[in-house]
């Protein structure tokens, strides 16, 4: 039986093909990443074969769905890779189908985590599926998927269950066994017995299900970002005072904080120009009121 170490089992959900999950990357500098990936030693033990995958009969009603899911993985993960690189990605998917650490269907493996914050194949949860495939590359991806489902193997990647592009260094690259690089992808297997051929004993689950993704959620996310950006008021230093919900004020006031963008301006009265009400108040108290001197009197 394939028994993963508890720590490795706990980290499986985060060991994704995504190249943009900053928290899982040790290095995102392309040139530096390539050098660091080269420094990771390749496993010295021989590459074992997981065996030909022939679990889904072509006559099965689910064969077409399995082909579709596998072709999507080939296309969105490796459409521009060399042919062997595309076939290697298909093999990783089918290796997972037979490994007890993963779902036992093709679509289950490809779409694992599609509705979670972190998905195993990033194209299923980042909106990439909204892009219409290029016809010629899509036909090729479907052909490679059918070959893989018929038992085509890539000897170089053997029992690989993981891969990543060579321009990133995910933290898990140091915890798995590096097997080989094909094109821009570097392939890995589980360390110890879980990565041995004997651990790939699972059989196909018997039914394929492709989840219906609500693409509107990606549009909503984009709209929300744009709305949030447009909702930020333009700030003018020294002129704009942001209103506060705790303020109790009139429409043209900002709760005691002067906002010169409103319809009034601050005016400080001349203390010597006494108002009529002030004169009345002082006169009622019996005090003598001296009229303010005129300009001509001040000059004299």
Domain chopping of the chain, boundaries = 6-225, 237-300
Please provide the average confidence, as pLDDT, over all residues in the chain. Answer: 77
What is the C-alpha to C-alpha distance for residues 165 and 181, in angstroms, rounded to an integer? 9
Q: How far apart are CA 62 and CA 132, in angstroms?
A: 23
Contact 105, 55 (CB under 8 A): no
pLDDT at 11: 66
14/17 Cα distance (integer angstroms): 9
Share of the chain above pLDDT 70, in %: 63
pLDDT higher than 80, residue 274: no
Q: Give the mean model confidence (pLDDT) for residues 3-17.
A: 67
Average pLDDT for 93-104: 94
**Spatial contact of 27 and 169, defined as CB atoms under 8 Å apart:** yes
Lowest-confidence pick of 51-55, 76-80, 85-89: 51-55
pTM to 2 decimal places: 0.68
């Amino acid at each position: 039986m394939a028994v993963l170490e508890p720590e490795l089992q706990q980290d499986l959900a985060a060991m994704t093909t995504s190249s943009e999950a900053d928290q899982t990357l040790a290095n995102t500098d392309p040139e530096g990443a390539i050098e660091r990936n080269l420094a990771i030693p390749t496993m010295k033990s021989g590459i074992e074969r997981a065996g030909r995958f022939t679990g889904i009969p072509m006559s099965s009603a689910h064969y077409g769905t399995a082909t579709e899911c596998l072709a999507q993985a080939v296309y969105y993960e490796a459409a521009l890779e060399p042919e062997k690189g595309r076939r290697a990605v298909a093999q990783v998917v089918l290796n997972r189908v037979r490994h007890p650490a993963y779902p036992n269907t093709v679509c289950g493996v490809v779409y694992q985590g599609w509705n979670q914050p972190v998905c195993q194949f990033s194209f299923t949860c980042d909106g990439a599926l909204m892009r219409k495939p290029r016809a010629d590359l899509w036909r090729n991806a479907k052909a490679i998927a059918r070959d893989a489902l018929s038992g085509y193997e890539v000897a170089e990647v053997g029992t690989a269950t993981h891969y990543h592009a060579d321009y990133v260094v995910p933290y898990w690259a140091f915890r798995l066994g590096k097997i080989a690089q094909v094109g821009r992808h570097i392939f890995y297997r589980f360390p110890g017995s879980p990565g041995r051929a004997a651990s790939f004993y699972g059989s196909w689950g018997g039914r394929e299900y492709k989840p219906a993704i609500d693409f509107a959620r990606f549009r909503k996310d984009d709209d929300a970002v744009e709305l949030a950006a447009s909702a930020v008021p333009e700030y003018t230093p020294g002129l704009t005072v942001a209103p506060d919900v705790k303020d109790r004020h009139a429409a043209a006031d900002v709760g005691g904080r002067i906002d010169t963008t409103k319809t009034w301006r601050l005016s400080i009265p001349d203390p010597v120009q006494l108002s009529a009400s002030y004169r009345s108040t002082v006169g009622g108290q019996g005090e003598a009121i001296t009229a303010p001197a005129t300009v001509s009197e001040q000059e004299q």
